[in-house]
Structure formats: structure tokens, C-alpha cells
Amino acid sequence: MSDSRFICGYFLVGLLSFLSACDNSLEDDKRYAEEKTIESFISTNKLTYTKSDGVYHIATEPSYGYEVNDGDTVKFWYVGYTLSGLVFETNVESVAIEENLNTEVRSFEPLRVIAGETDLITGLKRGLLLTRLNQTSTIIFTSDLGFKGQIVGPIDAWSPLAYDIEVIYVNGKGIQTEKQLLEAMDLSSYNLHSTGLYYKYLIDTSSTRPVSTSTVYGWYKITLPSGEVVEEVSTLNATINLSETNMGAIKKGFMLLSLGGSAEFIAPSPMGYGKKGNDVVSPYQPIAISMRLDSIK
């Protein structure tokens, strides 16, 4: 009798494990199919995206503002919709009116949250951490990060969701610390660009300057304000494709240089190594850059 109970118990555990594996497989298949739908939507609209933690991010109006980080206070405008174009939520009054949403039950002011802490649907909580100050973004995610199998208002079950987001305010400990570092530096001989980049021309003899899609030949060296070298190009006349350059300070720095010119820059972290830093550069660490433009392809 005890053997029979053991066999039945073993069979039941095995059956439950099998059913659980099937459920996981079905969830994976559903997620995969939704990701293909999302990627088709992105491709059809000729958008460029990055993907992190299951969330697709498109910077529709890029910015060099501070990145949203866990614990930051954030204010933003948003429009939530399905990939079929059905708008289901917004705090933008003109959009609510246009989409015939009930304006009496909605608050038309920027949504204020603590990033990573305020209770938002998972995809929106994760997606917000991919955005920046003064940037307009679209974030898209599969239904397992949204409402899953629930039917919410006009939203069908298992619907991928998209949010257009415009971040208008970001503040946190890291940002405040960096602002104090910049205030302590002597930047009186530098000009301040609208992107937040400080620049000082050493040689500026031409009106010919590269654009964001240019390939240039030149040299640069990145250091900490203390002088410790972070990165330096290995040759004196290196080939640098600005359209493929990820660091904002390098891209914008070369665009500010004249042909044959050179300059020094101080870049705040949003234009450098950002909220994460790297092995040498701390999070929210300003960097110094020396740069020379030899020629433009």
C-alpha cells in the first residue's frame, strides 16, 4: 500500500512538473509571437530601437538630458495605446478630447512618480528607466509585462502595449551630486552648449564643420577631471564615424570643431558614461576630453 502511495505521489509530482513546463513553453511561445508583432510594427514605421529587460525603446526626439534612474523623482506626459492605434489612457487633455476619452475622470497634469518604486504596470516601470530628461520616447512591451490575460476597458487580453512618454523633470541623489561637482570646477573659460557640453576652443580657423552623419579623421583623449586617462584613440588620425558613435560628447564635440581645429571639453555624465559609469568612471562622473579634427571624409 505504501509503495502504491509513493508511485501515485511520484506520478502526481511528475505530472504537475510536466504541466508547469507546458505552461512555461506556451508563455514563451506567446511572448515570442508578440515580440515578432512588435518588431514588425517598428520595422513598418521605420523606427530605430534598443531593447532592455523585455522592453523596446525608441527615442523619437533624442536628448542629452539626464537618464532616469531608480529612486529618481520623475514627471512626464504620456499616451498609452495598443499597436492597432487604440488610445486607452493619457494625461494630455488634447489627446483625450481627440480620442473621446472621459475627461471628467482624468487628471491632465504631468504624472509624478518615484522611478522603480511607484506602482506602475511592469512594462511602464521598466521602460521609464530607459528614458531621459527632455526626451520624447516610445516604449513597447509584450502583454506579460502589461495586463496579461485581463480585459481592461477596451483592451483585449494578451495585448502588447505602447506608451509615448515625454519626460519633463528628473531629479535624484546622483544628479545632485554631479551638479555639485560641476559647480566646484572652474569652468569660467568654457562656453556652455545647449546640450550641456562645456567647450573651449584651442584652434578654430574654419567655418567647415562635420554633421552628425559625417565620417571624420582626428584624435581624442578622455580623462577624469583629475587627469587620469580613461580612453585615448590609438592613432593620431583615427577614422571616426559619427553616426555610429554612442557617446554624445564625442559626437557633439566633433560637430563643434572646425576643420583643422582643436578644443577641450567638459562633459556631464549624460553625454559621457551615464548613470552607470564603467570600471574607471564612477556613475554621474563628469569627464574631460581633448579633441582635434584633422579632416572630414
Between the CA of residue 225 and those of 248, 257, 262, what are the distances in Å? Answer: 18, 21, 19
Report residue 80: phi and psi, to 5°. Answer: -100, 135
Q: Given 125, 149, 171, which residue is the final one in a domain? A: 171
What is the pLDDT at residue 183?
95
Q: Are 199 and 190 in contact (CB under 8 A)?
A: yes
Report residue 60: phi and psi, to 5°. Answer: -75, -30
Report residue 76: phi and psi, to 5°. Answer: -155, 155
**To 5 degrees, how large is the angle CA 266–CA 268–CA 272?**
95
Q: Is 9 among the domain residues?
A: no
Rounded Cα gap, residues 259 and 216, in angstroms: 10
* Grid cell at residue 43: 520595422
| Statement to judge: residues 91 and 191 lie in one domain | no
* Grid cell at residue 15: 505530472
What is the pLDDT at residue 205?
84
| CATH number of the domain that residue 65 is part of | 3.10.50.40
What is the pLDDT at residue 22?
55
| Statement to judge: residues 231 and 145 lie in one domain | no
| Statement to judge: residues 18 and 82 lie in one domain | yes
- 41 burial (CB, 10 Å; 0-12 / 13-18 / 19+) is middle
235, amino acid identity: T
| Statement to judge: residues 149 and 235 lie in one domain | no
Using only the alpha carbons of the chain, give its radius of gyration: 25
Rounded Cα gap, residues 255 and 264, in angstroms: 13
Q: Is 253 among the domain residues?
A: yes
Q: Given 171, 188, 215, which residue is the final one in a domain? A: 171
Q: Write out pLDDT tens, residues 269-294.
A: 999 999 999 999 999 999 999 999 99
Average pLDDT of the chain? 92
Which 8-state DSSP code applies to residue 200?
E
In the chain, % of residues over pLDDT 70 = 92
| Statement to judge: residues 105 and 200 lie in one domain | no
Q: Given 132, 151, 171, which residue is the final one in a domain? A: 171
Report residue 4: phi and psi, to 5°. Answer: -65, -45
Which 8-state DSSP code applies to residue 282?
P
What is the pLDDT at residue 19?
46
Q: What share of the chain is helix, strand, coil (3-state, %, to 5)?
A: 30, 30, 40
Mean pLDDT, each 10-residue run in order, the chain (297 residues)? 50 51 74 95 95 96 95 98 96 97 94 97 98 97 95 93 98 97 95 96 91 95 95 88 94 96 97 96 98 94
Q: Is 96 among the domain residues?
A: yes
What is the pLDDT at residue 6?
47
What is the pLDDT at residue 1?
47
Q: Give the domain extent around 46.
A: 14-171
Q: Is 109 among the domain residues?
A: yes
Q: Write out pLDDT tens, residues 203-239.
A: 998 889 999 999 999 999 999 999 999 999 988 789 9
Q: Are 274 and 286 in contact (CB under 8 A)?
A: no
